[in-house]
Amino acid sequence: MSTNRRLWECVLAMLVIGTGVAGAQTKTKKTAAKPASAVVVPAESRACVTCHEQKTPGIVAQWHGSAHAKQGVACLECHGAAASDPGAFTHEGATIITVVTPNQCAACHGDIVAENSRSHHAAAASFIGSLDNVLGEVVEGRLAAVNGCWQCHGSTVAILKNPDGSIRTKPDGAPMLDPTTWPNTGIGRVNLDGSLGSCTACHSRHSFSKAMARQPEVCGKCHMGPDHPQAEIYAESKHGIAYRTQMSEMHLDSDRWIVGVDYTAAPTCSTCHMSATKDQRVTHDVGARISWTLRPVVSKKLEKWEAKREAMKGVCDSCHTPDFIDAFYKTYDATVDLWNTKFAVPATSVMTALREAGKISPTPFDDEIEWTYYRLWHHEGRRARMGASMQGPDYTQWHGFFEAAENFYMKFLPQAREAAKGDPKVLAAIEAVENDRPNLWKKGLSPEERQKIDEFYKERYGEH
């Protein structure tokens, strides 16, 4: 279709539906809903749309199908800026910014931005300086972190400078963004204006689809892999199976999306952690319904965990009875306690004894046992706990507790004895762990226990 034809169609549409709105709508000033097929191009953005239909047609096509387009929110409503804004430059007579931040989104979605800013998502870039980032940026190499860790956690967006401290610019006058920090849609991105987060991490530009954000695949960009495989756990769970087989019944495009009312086929990540229930409104604070933290070595109940658990139970009871929900949480809590008491606390006590005795250096990851310990809690222990939290049995058992047990008994404890080099305090810490009740099996099963196991396998399989 030619540019002239598109232009005339746009003009005709404007004559039919009116001149639209000049700027983004706020919560205090609403306009009448537009017909589903209507697209309003505000006067200030018409030149942008006409030009970018040729230069970046994919962007314009995505925008045309968005709720923004139907409400008259276009290019300058989001990219428009004041000359004093960080990263602002003049482009085709308009002052714009490249990196749209939550501050721009807050003009219309103030409550949502405020909720997100309080969430763990918004603080995701604060992992820099942690062992995870040291591993990526130092041990593996900086670009491993740039293209890996930072793409989920978020970068600190920066503008390149000349040797004299002035801003480096492109031929069109736009500031040159540091390519190691942009493009980036990490959930905790630190923006040029100081705001935290990236709304497009979940609501991909330029369609900004609510249906997309409600699907588990969006979360799976980051919540997957050997150390936090929530996407894989969800996929193997009964919830994930129900979603996959009944996705056509999920009504993902609905303006209202209340579990148990507007859909009953299955829950998604969004259902449980963010979306509305019959008694709760939507929240963009993804931790508002989480009672345990499963990230660190030793799991702990979060602040105000009781209220957060009740909020999550309010999601569960859309489909499950109170007895069912209480039984799940009783077993889940006990499973997290099992990890803490059998593996996490004992292993940490041994590592503390080794450090205090000077048997391992202060530099992370330069001693073999540090890799073993890191894998124990950061990979295997998380998988066990997260598997239990989302009802993924294979991740709880074979990818979780089985691998943690193999590591702990066959690698970690022998390595600790070797690293101790006979130090009596370290050996005493190791022996205290080995003599603790959950670990006494390692000293040998009784003849009666062994006979019982042998008889079972002979009866079941004819051998053992």
Assigned domain for 92 exists: no
Parent domain of 44:
3-79
From 309, 344, 372, the end of a domain falls on: 309
Same domain, 234 and 265: yes
Same domain, 401 and 300: no
Same domain, 243 and 370: no
From 207, 242, 260, the end of a domain falls on: 207
Assigned domain for 219 exists: yes
**427/442 Cα distance (integer angstroms):** 17
pTM, 2 dp:
0.88
Assigned domain for 315 exists: no
Domain tally for the chain? 4
Same domain, 104 and 74: no
Assigned domain for 84 exists: no
pLDDT tens track of the chain, all 464 residues? 443 434 334 333 333 333 333 333 333 333 344 444 568 799 999 999 999 999 999 999 999 999 999 999 999 999 999 999 999 999 999 999 999 999 999 999 999 999 999 999 999 999 767 889 899 999 999 999 999 999 999 999 999 999 999 999 999 999 999 999 999 999 999 999 999 999 999 999 999 999 999 999 999 999 999 999 999 999 999 999 999 999 999 999 999 999 999 999 999 999 999 999 999 999 999 999 999 999 999 999 999 999 999 999 999 999 999 999 999 999 999 999 999 999 999 999 999 999 999 999 999 999 999 999 999 999 999 999 999 999 999 999 999 999 999 999 999 999 999 999 999 999 999 999 999 999 999 989 889 988 998 888 888 888 65
- pLDDT at position 17, please? 32
**139/142 Cα distance (integer angstroms):** 9
Same domain, 170 and 238: no
Same domain, 305 and 261: yes
* Cβ(127)–Cβ(149) below 8 Å: yes
Residue carrying structure tokens 């979605």: 109
Same domain, 234 and 148: no
- pLDDT at position 464, please? 53
Assigned domain for 242 exists: yes
Same domain, 346 and 301: no
From 32, 49, 79, the end of a domain falls on: 79
Same domain, 301 and 331: no
- pLDDT at position 35, please? 43
Assigned domain for 91 exists: no
Assigned domain for 240 exists: yes
Same domain, 295 and 332: no
- pLDDT at position 200, please? 96
- pLDDT at position 459, please? 87
Assigned domain for 85 exists: no
3-state secondary structure the chain: CCHHHHHHHHHHHHHHHCCCCCCCCECCECCCCCCCCCCCCCHHHHHHHHHHHHHCHHHHHHHHCCHHHHCCCCHHHHHECCCCCCCCEEECCEEECCCCCHHHHCCCCHHHHHHHHCCCCCCHHHHCCCHHHHHHHHHHCHHHHHHHHHHHHCCECCECECCCCCECECCCCCECECCCCCCCCCCCCECCCCCECCHHHCCCCCCCCHHHHCCHHHHHCCCCCCCCCHHHHHHHCHHHHHHHHCHHHCCCCCCCCCECCCECCCCCHHHHHCCCCCCCCCCCCCCCCCCEECCCCCCEECCCHHHHHHHHHHHHCCCCCHHHHHHHHHHHHHHHHHHHHHHHHHHHHHHHHHHHCCCCCCCCCCCHHHHHHHHHHHHHHHHHHHHHHCCCHHHHHHHHHHHHHHHHHHHHHHHHHHHHCCCHHHHHHHHHHHCCHHHHHHHCCCHHHHHHHHHHHHHHHCCC
Same domain, 201 and 221: no
Same domain, 446 and 363: yes
